[in-house]
Amino acid sequence: MTSLRIALYQGPGGVPAPGESLAAFARAARRAAAAGARLLVTPELSLTGYALGDAVAGLAEPADGPSARAVGRIAAEHGLAIHYGYPERDGAAVYNAAQLIGPDGTRLAGYRKTHLFGPYETARFTPGTEPVVQAELDGVRLGLLVCYDVEFPEAVRAHALAGTELLLVPTALMRPYEIVPRSVVPVRAWESQLYIAYTNRHGSEGEHVFAGMSCLAAPDGTVRVRAGGGEDLIVADVDTAALAASRAENTYLADRRPELYTSLSPQGEPRR
């Protein structure tokens, strides 16, 4: 069994000037590595800021763009993986994306947010179509979602069934929806028997006021560590032995009866 130390960076705040987010990543990576972390998780759109308006299209980069290469250099310098959010351009489409860079600076995985939240996002981003994206780090199977995705139990359960042990969820959760990090995320970890690293933005960007409260929720439903409302770096361990013990005691996954759930698929939904 494996123990993986991770750091959740609740920052940087606001819409950063060019280069500021990369400098903040480097500072956070230095602190995380000094604390023994092998993975640094940052918030949704942490590279650019969230409240960009129509400017997001001009800031979008391909998955292997210059910012990805810069993050790779930071990861390799400090010997830890870095997970960050950014607007991804692929042809004419722009996605609200997250990318995982390995400790050697190479790309491990990329994910495009599948559930877009509200008119602000739906007007500017194309929804992703791949529900389960995974990668391996130090013997732990990681899964990627973004923000609103975690509020759909089906999305988290799909990861659990695919073997995800630690689900990375960068987010830009606003007030007054503190119920999500306070209650929904721990319940998702409990009902699908995995760890969830929920890493939020903080402060204000225009009309958006972010809730902070980043946390690591464990499969027993407890929160192992939680940030406050401002910039923060919190560190905790993901223990796969504890996960295996929890899954043996809480048998939700083994006791499922998929034949009863056909109405959850588009083919089985009742006509209206």
| Catalytic residue numbers, as ranges | 44, 113, 147
Chain centroid to CA 233: 15
DSSP state of 162: T
Contact yes or no for 194/229 (Cβ under 8 A)? no
- Compute the distance between CA of residue 232 and CA of residue 11 in angstroms, rounded to an integer: 7
Residue type, 128: G
Q: What share of the chain is helix, strand, coil (3-state, %, to 5)?
A: 35, 30, 35
- Compute the distance between CA of residue 171 and CA of residue 71 in angstroms, rounded to an integer: 19
Bond preceding residue 270 cis, omega within 30 of 0: no
